[in-house]
Amino acid sequence: MRPMQDLPESMFGWTKLNDEIGGFSLEKHDMPKPEHGEVLIKTHSTSICGTDVHIWKWDDWAKENVPLGTITGHETCGVIVGLGDGVESHSIGDKVAIECHLACWDCPRCDEGNAHICERGEIFGVHSNGAFAPYFTIPAVNARKLPSNLAMENASIQDPLGNAIHTLTGGPVKGSSVAIHGLGPIGLFAVNAAKAMGASKVIAIDWDNQERMDMAKKLGADLVLGKDHNIVDEILANTDGRGVDNSCEFSGSPQALSNSIKSTRMGGYLNILSVYGDSTPPVPMNDVVFRYLHIKGINGRKMWSTWDLMHQLLEENKIDIETLITHRMPFEQFNQAMELAISGDCGKVVLEF
Ligand SMILES: NC(=O)c1ccc[n+]([C@@H]2O[C@H](COP(=O)([O-])OP(=O)(O)OC[C@H]3O[C@@H](n4cnc5c(N)ncnc54)[C@H](O)[C@@H]3O)[C@@H](O)[C@H]2O)c1
Ligand SMILES: [Zn+2]
Ligand SMILES: [Zn+2]
């Protein structure tokens, strides 16, 4: 390894230790060492994702995927402080943010440009150690250099912003009508990005989170709907009775899934990023068939076309990150930050190291 400075021999990272809800502890770990092709990064900040909430709640998915003893956290950014052998693409001191999908780059999915669903893929901070710690290692290709105008304190949000952009681009955006179902952090990023990408009308829908509905308005939504509205009727009424060109589902609610199917225009596009608590929500299938809908599941970010488009929007200062990050906390306050994220009384919550 080629280090920049004297590095500590050990560090403390938030570790999923116990087979129970919560069950995290700030544990001592050896300093990670970059292998061939990897970089060592000093963490600047790591934001909390819905996936971290699943791990906290220790649901069936989390139990199957997260080995006890793992340092979790994957939405992160920092500075390179060490290079493994063979790394020519990066330098000590580079400011980077992380693509958390670790790909083999050598399977049929990687070869066809779908490395985000690599057949041998793993998620950094889920299947292996991540970034709720002051240092971590990662393959150099997953460390994406920041657009020059993006402040480091805002850089960790490129993971959820990229999710939002990947979902939107499953259908037409420029000059098109777009509905965003679910105004969690990713849905809010999607409202912002849809306007930035030139959508002709953006309809934002939540259930009852008034703070998030107000944020959607601030981020440019043309119409905001909630539980007091008949969602399908309102969307149809605001699109000449046709439905929107492009619906994006970010709520995880079976009701929203049904609403989105019934309010997408004939031959339109429905892109689904949500993970559903019950993995078999009822689907009004005949509407899908007779409306001739294109339905697509979305996972992660395209490597690297989503990142390229995102960097273009960031360089044009078209994304209002300051509105979307509502809380910044020292990383020692991990448990409080998790409780805040679970409550929903927030946009993005960022832990600073
Ligand atoms: N596939 C992937 O790669 C990937 C990556 C990250 C997150 N996700 C999933 O994406 C989804 C969005 O994540 P997030 O953290 O932004 O969400 P979140 O859970 O913070 O927010 C969901 C929002 O949906 C709202 N909602 C509830 N019922 C609704 C309804 N019937 N209609 C409209 N809105 C409703 C809630 O009030 C809440 O504001 C989650 O399901 C998450 O698990 C998937
Ligand atoms: Zn995430
Ligand atoms: Zn692969």
Q: Give the tens place of pLDDT for each residue, 13-59.
A: 999 999 999 999 999 999 999 999 999 999 999 999 999 999 999 99
Active site residues: 51, 54
- If one residue of 53, 215, 248, 250 were mutated to test the ligand 1 pocket, choosing by the most ligand atoms within 8 A of its CB, it would be 250
Which runs of E-coded beta strand occur in 119-175? Answer: 122-123, 135-139, 143-145
What is the band of 79 on the pLDDT scale with cuts at 50, 70, 90?
very high
Task: Tell me the two tokens of residue 172.
Answer: 């037409």
Strand partners, 24: 16
Length of the chain: 353
Q: Which residues line ligand 1 (CB under 6 A)?
A: 50-51, 163, 181-187, 205-207, 209, 212, 250-253, 255-256, 273-275, 298-300, 344
The answer to whether 150 and 316 are in contact (CB under 8 A) is no
- Taking the CA atoms of 93, 94, 95 and 96 in sequence, report the sign of the dihedral they define: negative
Residue 24, H or E segment: strand 24-30
Mean pLDDT, to the nearest integer, of 324-350? Answer: 97
Taking a C-beta distance cutoff of 8 angstroms, is the pair 74, 130 a contact?
Answer: yes
Tokens of 277: 């608590």
Closest CA to 212 of 50, 324, 48: 324
Q: How far is the CA of 50 from the centre of ligand 2 (A)?
A: 6
Best residue for ligand 1 mutational test, from 208, 273, 303, 325 (most atoms within 8 Å of Cβ): 273
CATH number of 2-145+320-352: 3.90.180.10
**Torsion of Cα atoms, 235 then 158 then 298 then 201, to 10°:** 20
Distance CA 5, CA 48 (A): 29
Mean pLDDT of the chain: 97
Q: Model confidence at 4, in pLDDT bands (50, 70, 90)? A: low
Say what the pLDDT of residue 279 is: 85
- Tokens 């500075």: give the residue: 79
Span 141-165, average pLDDT: 98
CA dihedral for 149, 123, 257, 309, sign (positive or negative): positive
Check pLDDT > 80 for residue 282: yes
What protein residues have CB closer than 5 angstroms to ion ligand 2?
49, 51, 159
What's the CA-to-centroid distance between 296 and ligand 1, angstroms? Answer: 16
Distance 185 CA to ligand 1 centre (A): 8
Q: For residue 187, give the ligand 1 atom closest to its CA.
A: 16
Q: Where are the domains positioned within the chain?
A: 2-145+320-352, 164-297
CB 112 within 8 A of CB 10: no
Quick one: pLDDT band at residue 6, thresholds 50, 70, 90? confident
Give the pLDDT score at 265: 98
The tokens describing 156, both together, are 């960790």
Give the per-residue pLDDT at 16: 98
Q: Which of 22, 119, 16, 9 is nearest to 337 (CA)?
A: 22
158, 205, 206, 212: residue to mutate for ligand 1 pocket, most atoms within 8 A of CB:
206
pLDDT band per the 50, 70, 90 thresholds, residue 148 = very high
Q: What is the arithmetic mean of pLDDT over 344-350?
A: 96
Both tokens of 314, joined, read 């960031």
CATH topology of domain 164-297: Rossmann fold (3.40.50)
Tokens 């979902």: give the residue: 167
| 136 — pLDDT class (breaks 50, 70, 90) | very high
Q: Nearest ligand, CA of residue 103? A: 3
Residue in the structure block whose two tokens are 């290079």: 83
Tokens 């076309």, located at residue: 305
Question: Is 3 a residue whose pLDDT tops 80?
Answer: no
Nearest protein CA to atom 43 of ligand 1, as residue: 275
The span from the CA of 55 to the CA of 64, in Å, is 10
- Work out the average pLDDT over 140-159: 97
Q: What is the mean pLDDT of residues 66-87?
A: 98
For residue 124, which ligand has an atom nearest its CA?
Answer: 2
Range with the lowest mean pLDDT among 172-176, 188-192, 276-280, 296-300? 276-280
Q: Is the pLDDT of residue 253 over 70?
A: yes
Predicted confidence (pLDDT) at residue 1 exceeds the cutoff of 70: no
Say how many Å lie between the CA of residue 222 and the centre of ligand 2: 27
Q: Which atom of ligand 1 is nearest to the CA of 299?
A: 3
Using 50, 70 and 90 to split pLDDT, how confident is the model at 278? confident
Tens of pLDDT, residue by residue over 208-222, are: 999 999 999 999 999
Q: State in Å: Cα 74 to ligand 2 middle.
A: 6
**What distance in angstroms lies between residue 290's CA and the mean position of ligand 2's atoms?**
34
Which ligand has its closest atom nearest to the C-alpha of 342? 1
Residue 139 has pLDDT above 80, yes or no: yes
Contact (Cβ atoms closer than 8 angstroms) between residue 143 and residue 82:
no
**What's residue 2's pLDDT?**
61
Please name which ligand lies nearest the alpha carbon of 113: 3
Average pLDDT over residues 223-227: 98
Rg (CA), the chain: 20
Residue 5: is its pLDDT beyond 90?
no
pLDDT at residue number 257: 98
